[in-house]
């Protein structure tokens, strides 16, 4: 890939910064988490004063990495030479920490490393041809520190992001370069089976109860073009699960396995209304279009939005979208 110019600029920023703050979207997924942990470990090894922060604590699903406590939830009242925002399509998606530290983000040199499609910050490395932001971070670390920059621990963090964003090589963003990167990370001792077992074969029983209950009542729109289900606050409460801790695993690994052109999950939001996650399984169905109707966005095959409307109105709107599909 023709990244030499941008990698050179990023390396210069990185070298000139003694202190670095790392952050990402408040809904910290496996890819964003992998970026933060890999950059944190590398910057620390390089003697930087580095802090990784997120608006919400790391989802317990990732406790197996033994690194969740490296992600703090506050930005201290001090200066940093550089802020790096990873895997975050829009800076406002940082959430609470962005709202509480507007001045910090306006006055600190900002580097944006992302593969979602919009650019912000003083230097933006945005390239949707990467399957995961972790693939980009791996490229930077290799450029900056050579292959030995990828320690076994860092290889694990980066592999996590690739597995997460490609849905374990099942999403359309899985490219030849994805396998090349994966092979390189395996050569650096990424523990593939540990990641697989913990990501895909370790669903807590309380989560499983929510999943089975949601899957036992799957509904259709437009004669089965779309299928959907709902998880309510009551479901979370009954099973003692934090609504924020339930990430995309259910929709990606379970709901998406039901045959249809697209699926969607309505998740009741503690802040009111519903969060809606869409997954397309047909190249002709661009779920960004319907997600945009709910003030959201994402990718063609995976997108999300929010709504304060009653459930029946949300479903009716999606039914209209489904009716017009080829
Ligand atoms: Mn990503």
Q: Predicted confidence band at 134 (pLDDT cuts at 50, 70, 90)?
A: very high
Please write the tens of the pLDDT for every residue from 255-268.
999 999 999 999 99
Does residue 240 share a domain with residue 191? no
What confidence tens digit (pLDDT) does each residue in 198-236 have? Answer: 999 999 899 999 999 999 999 999 999 999 999 999 999
Reported as a single tens digit per residue, the pLDDT across 162-191 is 999 999 999 989 999 999 999 999 999 999
pTM value > 0.85: yes
Q: Are residues 193 and 209 in the same domain?
A: no
Q: In this structure, are 192 and 211 located in the same domain?
A: no
CATH of residue 245: 3.10.310.30
- Give the distance (Å) from ligand 1 centre to CA of residue 320: 30
Same structural domain, 144 and 93 = yes
Average pLDDT, the chain: 95
Last residue of a domain, one of 171, 198, 225: 198
Please identify, among 178, 198, 218, the residue that sits at the C-terminal boundary of a domain.
198
Number of domains in the chain: 2
Are residue 64 and residue 94 in the same domain, yes or no? yes
3-state secondary structure of 33: helix
**Residues that place a CB less than 5 A from ion ligand 1:** 31, 87, 133, 165
Based on the fold, state whether residues 228 and 183 are members of the same structural domain. no
Distance 128 CA to ligand 1 centre (A): 10
Q: Are residues 176 and 219 in the same domain?
A: no
How many A from CA of 312 to the centre of ligand 1? Answer: 31
**Pairwise pLDDT comparison (67 vs 60), residue with the higher score:** 67
Note the helical H segments in the chain: 4-16, 30-45, 96-100, 102-107, 133-145, 152-166, 176-187, 192-200, 205-215, 233-238, 249, 287-293, 311-323
Domain span including residue 108: 4-198
- Cβ proximity of 265 and 229 under 8 Å: yes
Residues 194 and 211 placed together within one structural domain of the fold: no
Looking at the structure, do residues 152 and 43 belong to the same domain, yes or no?
Answer: yes
Question: Ligand 1 centre and the CA of 46: distance in Å?
Answer: 25
pLDDT at 76 over 50: yes
Q: Are 187 and 224 members of one domain?
A: no
Q: Residues 24, 55: one domain? A: yes
CATH number at residue 27: 3.90.1640.10
For residues 178 and 224, state if they share a domain.
Answer: no
Residue where a domain stops, chosen among 198, 225, 254: 198
* Angle subtended by helix axes 133-145 and 4-16, to nearest 10: 70
pLDDT at 290: 97
pLDDT given at position 2: 59
């Amino acid at each position: 890939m023709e990244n030499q110019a941008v990698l050179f600029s990023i390396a210069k920023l990185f070298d000139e910064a003694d202190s670095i703050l790392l952050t990402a979207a408040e809904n910290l997924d496996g890819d964003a988490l992998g970026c933060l942990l890999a950059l944190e470990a590398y910057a620390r090894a390089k003697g930087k004063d580095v802090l990784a922060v997120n608006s919400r604590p790391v989802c317990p699903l990732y406790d197996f990495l033994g690194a969740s406590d490296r992600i703090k939830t506050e930005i201290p009242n001090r200066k940093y030479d550089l802020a790096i925002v990873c895997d975050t399509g829009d800076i406002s998606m940082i959430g609470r920490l962005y709202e509480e530290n507007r001045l910090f983000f306006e006055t600190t040199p900002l580097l944006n490393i992302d593969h979602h499609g919009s650019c912000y910050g003083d230097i933006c490395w945005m390239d949707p041809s990467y399957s995961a932001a972790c693939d980009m971070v791996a490229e930077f670390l290799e450029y900056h520190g050579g292959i030995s920059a990828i320690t076994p621990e860092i290889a694990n963090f980066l592999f996590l992001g690739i597995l997460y964003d490609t849905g374990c090589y099942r999403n359309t963003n899985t490219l030849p370069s994805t396998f090349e990167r994966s092979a390189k990370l395996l050569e650096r001792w990424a523990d593939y089976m540990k990641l697989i077992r913990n990501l895909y074969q370790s669903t807590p029983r309380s989560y499983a109860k929510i999943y089975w209950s949601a899957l036992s009542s799957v509904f259709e729109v437009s004669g089965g073009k779309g299928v959907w289900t709902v998880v309510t606050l009551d479901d979370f409460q009954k099973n003692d699960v934090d609504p924020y801790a339930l990430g995309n695993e259910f929709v990606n690994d379970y709901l998406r396995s039901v045959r249809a052109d697209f699926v969607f999950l309505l998740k009741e939001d503690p802040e009111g209304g519903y969060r809606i996650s869409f997954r397309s399984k047909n190249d002709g169905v661009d779920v960004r279009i319907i997600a945009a109707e709910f003030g959201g966005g994402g990718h063609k095959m995976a997108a999300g939005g929010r709504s304060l409307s009653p459930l029946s109105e949300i479903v009716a709107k999606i039914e209209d979208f489904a009716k017009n599909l080829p």
